[in-house]
Amino acid sequence: MGSYLARRLVQSVFTLVGVSLVVFLVLRIIPGDPARLLLPEGASPEEITRLRTKLGLEQALPIQYLIFLRDAVRGDFGRSYQYDEPALGIVLEKVPATAELTVYALLFAILVAVPIGVLAATRRQTVFDYGTMGFAFLGQSMPSFWLGIMLILVLAVGLRLLPTSGRGTWQHLVMPALTLASFQMALIARLVRSSMLEVLREDYVRTARGKGLPARTVVLRHALRNSIIPVVTVIGLQFGTLLGGAVITETVFNWPGVGKLVVDAIYIRDYPIVQAVLVVSGTAFVLINLLIDLSYSYLDPRIRYA
């Protein structure tokens, strides 16, 4: 376990360095002056010179990267010129709103999808199975921004049940969470079903049935627990998709989170914010996947990291 942990930690550090390298390069692939890009459009020549010195733009690219890395580790991504505050602080301020949205969406997706997947697997080739899986297929084929717009059209504009945008009450949360959850919900339901079908064929499930355990116990204690690992893995890998979905969902519903912030920042070329968001979301992704890897041995005691 110890050496596995060490190896995973080293891997995570490498990934984080890679993340910072990509963020660094994205703003330097364009011909022209990154200092100009990182400052508001009407910046004075003095300001540009000052930032050029700070970023070390006269130095070789590798040196520039080291400077970027040093600043990033200190949490210094420059000042947002739109808010005239350190970029990282502004981004972190918006994290709770995005966390609220993604956590509720994921919870909602899991709470709906896991029971559906289990029922579809145990009632294979029934109307329930075909119906829910067909619906899941549709859910996976819908662009989430379109689903969001359709929800607004029906629930807010048509039936006037829910507010179209903003954050505050639980009514504000319903449509964004549903929009963000739809893809994951479909994915998890299909995955739980196929994973359950596989596990239900295993010998220990037959043994459990043979012992005369009630079907409920067999399905929930023996089968579900063992079929959940691939699901957890995919949820971890899908976290990036979830963040991407948050960018879209927050834009559709004017949800004041990191996604809305970064899209607005991209439109007005407030690149310090964009840099900070890319690094923060990349770091969150790496940490979450590390935690998920480490949770496997808890979920399945057979997994021991040698």
Partner 1 sequence: MAEALPTPIAATPAALAPGRVSRRPSNIRRLLRNRQASAGGLLILLMLLAAILAPLLAPWDPLAQQLSRRLEPPGSPIYLLGSDPNGRDILSRLLFGARVSLSVGFLSMLLAGVVGVVLGLVSGYFGGSLDDLIMRLADVQLAFPVILLAITIVSVVGRNVATIVLVLGLTGWVVYARTVRSSVLSLRERDFVLAARCLGAGHHRILLRHILPNTAAPILVVATVQIATMIVLESGLSFFGLGIQPPTPTWGGMLAEGRDYLSNAWWVSTIPGLAIMLTVLGINLLGDGLRDVLDPQLKDY
Give the residues lining the site for partner 1 (CB under 8 A): 11, 14-15, 18-19, 21-22, 26-27, 29-30, 37, 137-138, 140-143, 145-146, 149-150, 152-153, 157, 187, 190-191, 194, 230, 234, 237, 240-241, 243-245, 247-248, 251, 262-263, 266-267, 269, 274, 277-278, 281-282, 285-286
Dist. CA 63–CA 69, nearest whole Å: 10
Which element (helix H / strand E) includes 85?
A: strand 85-86
Minimum CB distance to partner 1, residue 235 (Å): 12
Dist. CA 116–CA 130, nearest whole Å: 11
Dist. CA 5–CA 7, nearest whole Å: 5
Q: What are phi and psi of 85, to 5 degrees?
A: -140, 165
Dist. CA 252–CA 151, nearest whole Å: 11
Minimum CB distance to partner 1, residue 83 (Å): 19
Minimum CB distance to partner 1, residue 39 (Å): 15
Q: What DSSP string describes 106-164?
A: HHHHHHHHHHHHHHHHHTTTSHHHHHHHHHHHHHHHS-HHHHHHHHIIIIIIIS--S-S
Minimum CB distance to partner 1, residue 93 (Å): 18
Q: For partner 1, which is the closer residue by CB, 205 or 263?
A: 263
Minimum CB distance to partner 1, residue 273 (Å): 11
Residues in contact with 53: Cβ distance below 8 Å, sequence separation at least 6, in sequence order: none
Minimum CB distance to partner 1, residue 247 (Å): 5
Q: What DSSP string describes 23-47?
A: HHHHTTSSSS-HHHHHS-TT--HHH
Q: For partner 1, which is the closer residue by CB, 90 or 277?
A: 277
Q: For partner 1, which is the closer residue by CB, 143 or 210?
A: 143
Q: For partner 1, which is the closer residue by CB, 218 or 239?
A: 239
Minimum CB distance to partner 1, residue 215 (Å): 26
Q: Are 122 and 195 in contact (CB under 8 A)?
A: no
Q: For partner 1, which is the closer residue by CB, 82 or 194?
A: 194
Residues in contact with 93: Cβ distance below 8 Å, sequence separation at least 6, in sequence order: none
Q: For partner 1, which is the closer residue by CB, 145 or 296?
A: 145
Q: For partner 1, which is the closer residue by CB, 137 or 204?
A: 137
